[in-house]
Each structure stands twice: as structure tokens, then as C-alpha cells.
């Protein structure tokens, strides 16, 4: 199998020949595997004790016990590896030592997968205020969150044992991804499991706004019969302007056309139009043309207050705005003004600059200074960030993210990570006794891999893969002829390298 990925620093380094453990500067390509690890392979029927050290660049981490353990998480999906031997289950700690904290009501599907591994799982229904969060995550190895939990540098720096974060959602703007990567904390998300749910919600909102359904329903709840047709419209033939034509925007495009809408979209990337939609070249062009404007961009500096006073001016009089992306994308005081002046005929908001950590009577001016102004507007649909909140989406997200976490914790595989290079190796198998998997997360500077391979040079490096992203790099190697007593020495030698961020040894 050809080498599948090599890092730039790998090329820069003078590499020892890692295939037989002897230094050979003339051979600069270590053996690597291009095999991709399937989910089935990662769920092994076999169990085996493993040894690893949680690490922190600046603090002593948990030191696992070497005692033999076994666990009962047998999977029905026994798969064979290339050699025909069953894959070996690698675990970084005794299962009962892996501490997982799940916040924000992560779906049971995800909780079950993690519990079946034998990990200690604590699941809370809501997010936590920053100080409580800092206290709570001091010793957790794995953290699961959704969109409300803010993992800034202050919070992450308190989590000395943390090796991985699972965002059980699409957006990862709530996490300081760079800080996490620089400190060896891998972050996963679920890139599209709730996209359809958001798109369907937006379709419902387009029709609801066009027919003023929210207001009529509120009036009926208050006992008022108000049968009107003035300024109520069919959506057929109207123009939908989609800002951000990614997973959600493109799903929406297909759904909207099936209602007879004309679809235009604006995206910073040149993207293939679905159906008869067409891409316009500027946001202003979209705003001037669309009857409904809907936002599906990520929260990044470029999208902050993307729709503000000037953009409302450019919108058609009597048009509608929908925001189910992130609260920071719309300047809400400008929206209130555009609604009061009649410039827009209605809006639907699912997301807000500040959102409460849990359910309750929080949508008031204490949360955001303009909440009560917003609540008093006509034809404004306000929902509590429920775009992705369907049984289907949450169940799929639970499975997808929990599986990524298990693969990372047990096997070091970063495929799907949002802040680290994607590194994988084919599984070790049960017929490979005395093997260990070394994961070395390190600063991306020249010479590191040479020093790492010197440490590994008493062993055969059966396969190795390394890749870098920004200031950090991720190296994974399977080495053989490792006696149990040697693992701690290997670990300490790797830990002593000054460029090291995190060392993990799995066996
Ligand atoms: N309300 C809710 O419950 C949910 C909200 N979301 C939010 O929706 C956002 C979009 O989700 P996806 O469609 O899955 O993301 P995506 O990454 O698939 O698509 C985003 C699109 O926006 C484009 N884009 C980026 N910057 C832009 C700019 N300045 N102007 C125009 N286009 C720009 C990108 O090129 C990309 O095509 C997420 O980032 C998340 O914040 C996602 C899921 C649920
Ligand atoms: O429902 C959630 O947890 C957040 C949904 C969301 O905004 C996302 O997936 O980015």
C-alpha cells in the first residue's frame, strides 16, 4: 500500500528508517498505511487491556493502572482485518477510568455507545455557567457539548485531563478550536446530521410568515377571531434568497423549488446549483431580488452583523428575513427598526447572540437588552434554537459523535476532527502480540519526527502516519516487540521531548 500522507515536517526532518528501527537519513519516508479504518473495524469483539497516559503540557495527568481488565462491550459486528485476524480492541485506560461529561442533554444513542465501552459517563440536561464548568471538567477526559457550552481558553486550560471534545451539533464556533489543537485536545462534530431538520423548519417558517400564522395563532390563543387575507401570500412564484449554500442551504433549495419557489443563493464559494437555482454574485444582489432571505452561514468574523441597517435598506420592502444560523449574524436592533418601519413584513429567528443555558423564563432584557422589543413585534416567529431538534437528527448526531469519540479514545484515529489533521492507521489485530500504538501530538517544528523515531528505534515501526495542521502535528505509529515493562520507559522518553504536546500509548 503506498504511503497515504506525509507531513511537511516529516519531509523536512532527516528521518531514521523506521521500518526496521535503524537510523538511515537517506530514507526519508517512514512506512505508513493508507488503509482507512472502518467503523466496523473500530468496534472489535476482542478486548484487551491497554495502557496510556493522559497528558497535559503543563500538568501531571492521570496515571492509569496496569492491572488487567476486560469489558463486556462485545459488538455484533465482528469484522476481519487484511490479515483475516480479528481487530484488537485498544483502550487508553481501564474503562472505568475514562471519565466523560456530557452536557446539554446529549441524545441517549450517544450516551449508550459511550456507556457500552465501560467509560464513566455523567450526563447533564443543561449547560453550566463558566465557573461551575471549570470546576466540573477538572478531571474529565472526554467532554460532550452542544451549541450552548462555551469552551474558551480559560475553560479548556482548567481541564488538565481533557483529550477530546465532541460537539453533538454542526457548529463549532462555541469552542476555541486553535487553543484546543495547540493543547492536544481533538474536537469532533456532526457535520450534517441535523441539516435536513433545519431546512424543514425554514420551509415551515417561510409559509408561516407569508400567511402570518404566528400572529393568527397568538390571537386565537387570546380568544380573538381575526380572519384576514390582506398581506397574506402564497409562496409559489416567490423568490427565496439563500445566504450560504452549504449542507442546509442546498437542502432548502431543493425543498423550496418543490413548492414552486424561485431560488437564488449567495455564497463566498462558487458552488454547483441544484435544480434550477442560481448563484448570484453579491449579497446586495440577493437582498434586492429576494422575497424571503434566509441565512445559513457559519459564525465567523466575516458574518458578524452580516445583516444590519444597510442590508435591511437593500432588501425589498415587504420581504421577510429568516435566521437559523447563529445569533451574531443579524444586528437585532436594526431588525427591530426594519420591522417597525414596515421595511420587512416579518422575520423568523431561531438563534440569538445570548442564549440561556437551560429551559425556563429567560427570554427577557436581562438576556439580551432588546428581547422585549423583539417580542412585541408583529409577524415575528421566535423559536428557542430548535432548528436541529428532531428525534431523527439528535439520534443520528448521538451515534456519529459518540463513535468518533470512541475511535479517538481507543484507537487515536482523528478522521472527522475539525481542528486536527486527519490521521488513521489500520487496526492492530489479535495475531499481533506485543504491539503498541503510539500517539504523539507535538509542535509542528522541524526535527521532531527524527527524535521520536530515535525513541522508537528499539522496536520495529510496522506502520506510521503523520500530518500537520498549523502549529501542531499528529503522529501515530504501531510498533512491535514491545514488552509491557518497556511501555512506561517509551512513554517517559517521548514525554521528555520538548516539542511534545500529548503522548498516548495504546496497547
Ligand atoms: N438552528 C440550528 O439549530 C442549527 C444551526 N446551524 C448553523 O447553520 C450554519 C450552517 O450550517 P451548514 O449549512 O451545515 O454549514 P456548511 O458549512 O455546510 O455551509 C455554510 C456555507 O456558508 C458559506 N459561507 C461562509 N461564509 C460566508 C459568507 N461570508 N458569505 C456567504 N456564504 C458564506 C460557506 O461557503 C458554506 O457553503 C452552521 O454553521 C451553524 O451555525 C446548524 C445546524 C443547526
Ligand atoms: O441543537 C443543538 O444542539 C445545536 C444545533 C446547532 O446549532 C448546530 O448543530 O450547530
DSSP string, 51-102: ------SSS----------------S-----TTSSPBPPP-SS-GGG-EEEE
Q: Name the burial class of residue 390, with classes exposed (0-12), middle (13-18) and buried (19+) by CB atoms within 10 angstroms of its CB.
A: middle
The confidence score (pLDDT) of residue 96 equals 54
Cα separation, 407 vs 414, whole angstroms: 8
Cα separation, 318 vs 339, whole angstroms: 9
Q: CA-CA distances (angstroms) from residue 236 to 262, 269, 323, 329, 506?
A: 8, 28, 21, 28, 59
Which amino acid residue places its CA nearest to atom 39 of ligand 1? 298
Residue 168 in contact with ligand 1 by CB distance below 6 A: no
Residue 170 in contact with ligand 1 by CB distance below 6 A: yes
The confidence score (pLDDT) of residue 376 equals 97
Active site residue 43: no
Q: What are phi and psi of 436, to 5 degrees?
A: -140, 150
Q: How far is the CA of 186 from the centre of ligand 1 (A)?
A: 21
Nearest listed ligand to the Cα of residue 106:
2
Q: How far apart are the first and last CA of the chain?
A: 24
Active site residue 385: yes
Q: Which three cell numbers stand for residue 81?
A: 482485518
Ligand 2 mutation target, pool 170, 328, 396, most atoms within 8 A of CB: 170
Q: What is the pTM of this model?
A: 0.84
Atom of ligand 1 nearest to the CA of 266: 31
Residue pair 409/163 in contact by the 8 Å Cβ criterion:
yes
Q: How far is the CA of 177 from the centre of ligand 2 (A)?
A: 17
Residue pair 202/182 in contact by the 8 Å Cβ criterion:
no
Cα separation, 64 vs 163, whole angstroms: 14
Neighbours of 235 (CB within 10 A): 19
The confidence score (pLDDT) of residue 485 equals 83
The confidence score (pLDDT) of residue 82 equals 61
The confidence score (pLDDT) of residue 92 equals 54
Q: Using a 6 Å CB cutoff, which residues line ligand 2? A: 146-147, 169-171, 194, 388-389
Which amino acid residue places its CA nearest to atom 15 of ligand 1? 246
Cα separation, 161 vs 311, whole angstroms: 46
Q: CA-CA distances (angstroms) from residue 269 to 98, 299, 330?
A: 41, 16, 21
Nearest listed ligand to the Cα of residue 390:
2
Ligand 2 mutation target, pool 387, 397, 400, 401, most atoms within 8 A of CB: 387
Q: Which residue among the candidates 211, 385, 426, 442 is catalytic per the annotation?
A: 385
Q: 3-class SS at 502?
A: strand
DSSP state, residue 19: T
Active site residue 326: yes
Please list the residues that pair with 48 across neighbouring strands. Answer: none
Residue 189 in contact with ligand 1 by CB distance below 6 A: no
Cα separation, 345 vs 226, whole angstroms: 18
Residue pair 240/290 in contact by the 8 Å Cβ criterion:
yes
pLDDT along the chain (507 residues), means of 10: 32 32 28 29 30 32 29 35 73 64 98 95 96 96 97 97 97 97 98 98 98 98 98 98 98 98 98 98 98 98 98 98 98 98 98 94 96 97 98 98 96 97 93 90 97 95 97 97 88 96 92
Cα separation, 359 vs 344, whole angstroms: 30
Nearest listed ligand to the Cα of residue 103:
2
Residue pair 137/144 in contact by the 8 Å Cβ criterion:
no
Nearest listed ligand to the Cα of residue 166:
2
Q: How far is the CA of 499 from the centre of ligand 1 (A)?
A: 35
Residue whose C-alpha is closest to residue 419's, from 183, 177, 179, 191? 177
Cα separation, 90 vs 80, whole angstroms: 16
Q: Which three cell numbers stand for residue 86?
A: 480479528
Ligand 2 mutation target, pool 102, 105, 144, 169, most atoms within 8 A of CB: 169
Query: Looking at the predicted complex, does its ipTM rise above 0.90?
Result: yes
Atom of ligand 2 nearest to the CA of 194: 9
Q: How far is the CA of 7 from the centre of ligand 2 (A)?
A: 33
In the chain the domains, ranked by start, together with CATH numbers, are 5-192+392-506 (3.40.50.720), 195-382 (3.40.50.720)
Residue 246 in contact with ligand 1 by CB distance below 6 A: yes
193-223 CB burial, b ≥16 within 10 A, e <16: bbbbbbbbbbbebbebbbbbbbbbeeeeeee
Nearest listed ligand to the Cα of residue 201:
1
Residue 266 in contact with ligand 1 by CB distance below 6 A: yes
Q: How far is the CA of 172 from the centre of ligand 2 (A)?
A: 9
Residue pair 12/448 in contact by the 8 Å Cβ criterion:
no
51-62 CB burial, b ≥16 within 10 A, e <16: bbbbbbeeeebb
Cα separation, 229 vs 279, whole angstroms: 33
Q: How far is the CA of 65 from the centre of ligand 1 (A)?
A: 44
Residue whose C-alpha is closest to residue 241's, from 233, 253, 254? 253
Q: How far is the CA of 241 from the centre of ligand 1 (A)?
A: 14
Within 211-270, residue ranges assigned H as helices are: 213-221, 247-258
Q: How far is the CA of 204 from the centre of ligand 1 (A)?
A: 19
Which amino acid residue places its CA nearest to atom 7 of ligand 1? 325
Strand (E) or helix (H) holding 34: none
Which amino acid residue places its CA nearest to atom 3 of ligand 2? 146
CA atoms within 13 A on the CB side of 53: 22
Residue pair 146/351 in contact by the 8 Å Cβ criterion:
no
Amino acid at each position: 500500500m503506498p504511503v497515504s500522507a506525509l507531513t511537511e515536517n516529516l519531509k523536512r526532518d532527516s528521518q531514521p528508517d523506521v521500518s526496521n528501527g535503524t537510523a538511515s537519513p537517506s530514507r526519508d519516508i517512514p512506512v505508513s498505511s493508507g488503509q482507512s479504518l472502518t467503523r466496523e473495524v473500530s468496534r472489535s469483539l476482542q478486548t484487551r487491556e491497554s495502557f496510556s497516559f493522559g497528558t497535559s503540557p503543563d500538568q501531571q495527568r492521570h496515571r492509569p493502572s496496569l492491572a488487567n481488565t476486560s469489558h463486556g462491550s462485545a459488538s455484533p459486528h465482528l469484522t476481519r482485518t487484511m490479515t483475516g485476524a480479528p481487530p484488537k480492541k485498544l483502550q487508553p485506560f481501564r474503562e472505568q477510568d475514562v471519565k466523560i461529561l456530557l452536557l446539554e442533554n446529549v441524545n441517549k444513542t450517544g450516551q449508550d455507545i459511550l456507556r457500552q465501552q465501560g467509560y464513566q459517563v455523567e450526563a447533564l440536561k443543561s449547560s453550566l455557567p463558566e465557573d461551575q464548568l471549570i470546576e466540573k471538567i477538572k478531571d474529565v477526559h472526554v467532554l460532550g457539548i452542544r451549541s450552548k457550552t462555551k469552551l474558551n481558553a480559560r475553560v479548556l486550560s482548567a481541564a488538565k485531563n481533557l483529550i477530546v471534545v465532541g460537539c453533538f451539533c454542526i457548529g463549532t464556533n462555541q469552542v476555541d478550536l486553535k487553543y484546543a489543537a495547540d493543547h492536544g485536545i481533538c474536537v469532533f462534530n456532526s457535520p450534517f446530521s441535523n441539516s435536513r431538520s433545519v431546512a424543514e423548519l425554514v420551509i415551515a417558517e417561510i409559509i408561516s410568515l407569508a400567511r402570518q400564522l404566528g400572529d393568527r395563532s397568538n390571537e386565537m390563543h387570546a380568544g380573538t377571531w381575526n380572519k384576514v387575507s390582506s398581506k397574506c401570500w402564497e409562496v409559489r412564484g416567490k423568490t427565496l434568497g439563500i445566504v450560504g449554500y452549504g449542507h442546509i442551504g442546498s437542502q432548502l433549495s431543493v425543498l423550496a423549488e418543490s413548492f414552486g419557489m424561485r431560488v437564488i443563493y449567495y455564497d463566498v464559494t462558487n458552488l454547483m446549483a441544484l435544480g434550477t437555482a442560481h448563484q448570484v454574485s453579491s449579497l446586495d444582489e440577493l437582498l434586492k431580488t429576494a422575497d424571503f432571505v434566509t441565512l445559513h452561514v457559519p459564525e465567523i468574523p466575516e458574518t458578524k452583523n452580516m445583516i444590519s441597517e444597510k442590508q435591511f435598506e437593500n432588501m425589498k420592502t415587504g420581504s421577510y428575513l429568516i435566521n437559523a444560523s447563529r445569533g451574531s449574524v443579524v444586528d437585532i436592533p436594526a431588525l427591530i427598526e426594519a420591522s417597525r418601519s414596515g421595511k420587512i413584513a416579518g422575520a423568523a429567528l431561531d438563534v440569538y447572540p445570548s442564549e440561556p443555558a437551560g429551559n425556563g423564563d429567560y427570554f427577557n432584557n436581562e438576556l439580551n437588552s432588546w428581547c422585549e422589543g423583539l417580542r412585541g413585534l408583529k409577524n415575528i416567529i421566535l423559536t428557542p434554537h430548535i432548528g436541529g431538534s428532531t428525534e431523527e437528527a439528535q439520534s443520528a448526531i448521538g451515534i456519529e459523535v459518540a463513535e468518533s469519540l470512541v475511535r479517538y479514545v481507543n484507537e487515536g484515529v482523528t478522521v472527522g476532527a475539525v481542528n486536527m489533521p486527519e490521521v488513521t492507521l489500520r487496526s492492530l489485530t489479535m495475531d499481533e502480540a506485543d504491539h503498541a500504538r503510539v500517539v504523539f501530538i507535538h509542535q509542528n517544528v522541524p526535527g521532531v519526527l527524527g527524535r521520536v523515531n530515535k525513541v522508537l528505534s528499539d522496536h520495529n515501526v510496522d506502520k506510521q502516519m503523520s500530518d500537520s495542521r498549523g502549529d501542531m502535528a499528529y503522529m501515530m505509529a504501531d510498533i512491535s516487540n514491545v514488552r509491557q515493562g518497556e511501555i512506561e520507559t517509551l512513554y517517559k522518553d517521548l514525554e521528555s521531548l520538548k516539542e511534545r504536546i500529548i503522548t498516548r500509548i495504546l496497547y
